[in-house]
Each structure stands twice: as structure tokens, then as C-alpha cells.
Amino acid sequence: MLGIISQYRTWLDLPDVDPVTLGEGATPLVPWATWGETDIFLKLEGANPTGSFKDRGMTVAVSVARHEGARAVICASTGNTAASAAAYAARGHLSAFVVVPEGRVTQQKLLQSLVHGAEILAIDGNFDEALAVVRRIAASNREIALVNSVNPWRLRGQETGAYEIVDELGRAPSGLALPVGNAGNISAYFQGFRRYGKGIPKMLGIQAAGASPLVQGHDVEHPETVATAIRIGKPASKALALEAVETSNGQFLAVTDADILSAQKELARGGIFVEPASATAYAGLKALRERGALPAGPLVGILTGTGLKDGETPLQWIEQTVHHTNSRTVGDTIQSLLQEARQHVAH
């Protein structure tokens, strides 16, 4: 069974599409820690083919677009949607156009779009403006399919993350923390838990403080955060996300860039390398714990994308440097580093 369409086809209500797949889904759910009585699991969505959760939605959106005769796909993106759209379009032999905020997408995400042959259009504006542009273009071109999460097939595909968690835990967790940018994923998970019928967790939508329209209760004109993936001020799926949080008795929560970086570091030092947007989910869980406001478990944090796509941000907290040595002295260097580590532990 390759990919989420073959795994969950009966739940997706799809037309008779031939799946465009790269084997997305079935990502690890790692038992990370137990805080008091509360078991914390982390779902590693960076393990998807292009390194983010977007692949779950993209396999469905691109399969349907091709089935309906589209020749190209288009999206606005902070990087991950673009990378995923580019890869799935290439797999399905469609063209891809991605519109991005100039200077605000990591090099590696742009590189992904380029290697898969997509056309990148960088605009002098943020994600929200890019989304407005691509909506207009897709609305007036029948052969170009819009594959942002305003396309309902994207959300249907992303529901499968919820199905997998229920299949693995035997029921829905009590709470689910995830980063919120355009608010598609939180809406998809909520829809997914509801459809699957094994309970609905408290939906905990975590935003970066500088890009937190859902916490503040109004759009943010100039969103700013180290978590470039969620630098979004006017979430398209706002209404669905509000419904998810209200109905599930959850909450929206803002965390600072400093919180995000320290969460990223803590995860990395535990073996999990995620990008800042994904660390936001974990920073939210930590913040709730510190306030004594953590719901009873089990809780799941969705780590939406790999850290390999953002090589710059960790430079803000990495302490070690490369030891320049040679084949004769490398052994001695290791001995003295071990010595240092022993002294460090002793103190």
C-alpha cells in the first residue's frame, strides 16, 4: 500500500483517480516523554517524501487536478507547499507555478521547487498577498488548478494524519498541538478526527507571537517571525480553525521566537531536527506545562516539517564548532573532548 490514497481511499470520497503518489504518510509517532501523568507523543511529519505534512494533501489535490484535466498547478507558499506541489506535479507530469514572498523562503525550499522543475515567481509582498494573486489567476484559468489548502482536497488528504494517530493509539488523544499559519492543517485534523469517529482531542493551535491573528482575534498586516513557514497574517481557513478550537474545547496560544528556538534546540538535542514552525507546536506544549495548564494526556504534537530545509536558524543556538584536525591528531582531540565532557558532568 503506497501512500495515503491507497491506505485510506474509502475515507476520502475521491472520484476514480489514478493516484499521483510518492509514498507519503505512515509517519513515526514517537513516545517522547511523560510529564507527570501525561504522555507526550510527537508525530514526525518531516518523514514525508518532500519533508513536510503538505504531501498528504498534495497527493490528493494533484491526483484530482490531473483527473479533471488540469495542465498545471499553482500555489502561494512560504516554501513547503511549493516544494510539495513541485514534486507531485513533476510526478504527475503537470507544470507547477509557485508564488513566494521574495527573500522570505529558505534556500533549501526554493531549491526543492527548482530541482523538480517548477517555475518560481517571487513577489514583493508577503504570503497573504501571494495567496490573493494565485486565487485570482486560478479562478480565471481552467487549466490551472489551485493547490493551496483552500482547495478542499488538500484538507481531505491532511485528515489522514488524524486517522493514523487513532489507528496507532486505538483512540483519539486528549489533546493535539500543532503550528498554525494559514490554518489549513488544524482544520484538516479536526475534520479528520470528527469523521473517523473515535473521539476529538482538544485542538491546541500554536502561533508565533509576531504572526498570531487567531490569538489576537484580528488579521495581522505585517506578520514577522523566525518561523518563516508560518509568517502569515490572514489565515484563509480562519473560520474552520475557530470552529475546531471552539468545538473541541481547545485553545489558540502564542509563543515567542525565543521560545520557538529553545524548543527547536531541545528537540534537536533529543534526536529530532525540525524547522522553527514545527518547533512551535512543542513550544506550545512546554508553555502550557509551565503554566500548569496542560490537559490530561495522552497529548500529540504535530512536528510538521524537517529541520533539513532551514540550515540558517539553528546557527543562532549551536554551540559546537568543527574541530580542524588531521588523521594523526584526531584521536588526541577526541580524548581531550571526552576529558572536557567528564569535567562538565562532574561540575
Which range in 24-32, 114-122, 272-280, 316-324 contacts ligand AN7 by CB under 6 A?
A: 272-280
**Is residue 229 a contact residue for ligand AN7 (CB under 6 A)?**
yes
Q: Identify which of residues 175 and 181 has a Cβ nearer to ligand AN7 in the complex.
A: 181
Order of strands across the sheet that contains 144-146 = 119-123, 95-101, 72-76, 144-146
**Does the protein bind ligand AN7 through residue 254 (CB under 6 A)?**
no
Give yes or no for residue 161 binding ligand AN7 (CB under 6 A). Answer: no
Q: Output the smallest distance, CB 78 to ligand AN7, in A.
A: 4
Q: How far is the CB of 237 from ligand AN7 (least distance, A)?
A: 7
Q: Which is nearer to ligand AN7, 38 or 90 (CB)?
A: 90
Phi, psi torsion values for 314, nearest 5 degrees: -65, -15
Q: Which stretch binds ligand AN7 (CB under 6 A): 59-67, 174-182, 189-197, 258-266?
A: 174-182
Helix axis angle for 184-196 and 238-247, nearest 10°, is: 50
Nearer of residues 81 and 126 to ligand AN7, judged by Cβ: 81
Given candidates 27, 50, 63, 78, which one binds ligand AN7 under the rule CB under 6 A?
78
Residue 29: partners with Cβ closer than 8 Å, 6 or more residues away: 41, 42, 43, 44, 164, 165, 168, 169, 300
- Is residue 51 involved in binding ligand AN7 (CB under 6 A)? no
Residue 184 interacts with ligand AN7 (CB under 6 A)? yes
Query: H helices within the chain, ranges in order?
Result: 3-12, 54-67, 80-91, 107-115, 127-139, 152-158, 160-169, 184-196, 213-216, 238-247, 257-268, 276-290, 330-346
**Residue 228 interacts with ligand AN7 (CB under 6 A): yes or no:** no
Closest CA to 183 of 127, 104, 242: 242
C-alpha cell at position 60: 490528493
- Considering the complex, state which of residue 160 and residue 182 has its C-beta at the smaller distance from ligand AN7: 182
Is the link from the previous residue into 298 a cis peptide, with omega within 30 of 0?
yes
Q: Residue 49: how many CB atoms within 10 A of its CB?
A: 19
CA distance 213 to 223: 9
Report the nearest approach of ligand AN7 to the CB of residue 115 (Å): 17
Give 99's strand partners.
Answer: 76, 121
- Per CB under 6 A, does 147 bind ligand AN7? no
- Determine which residue in the list 7, 27, 50, 77 makes contact with ligand AN7, applying CB under 6 A: 77
Instruction: Say whether residue 307 binds ligand AN7 (CB under 6 A).
Output: no
Site membership for ligand AN7, residue 81 (CB under 6 A)? yes
Answer whether 80's CB lies under 8 Å from 28's CB.
no
Q: Which of 4, 43, 301 is nearest to 160 (CA)?
A: 4
Q: Per CB under 6 A, which region of 13-21, 61-69, 273-281, 284-292 contacts ligand AN7? A: 273-281
The answer to whether residue 207 forms part of the interface with ligand AN7 (CB under 6 A) is: no
Residues that bind ligand AN7 (CB under 6 A): 52, 77-81, 149, 179-185, 229-230, 275, 277-278, 304-305
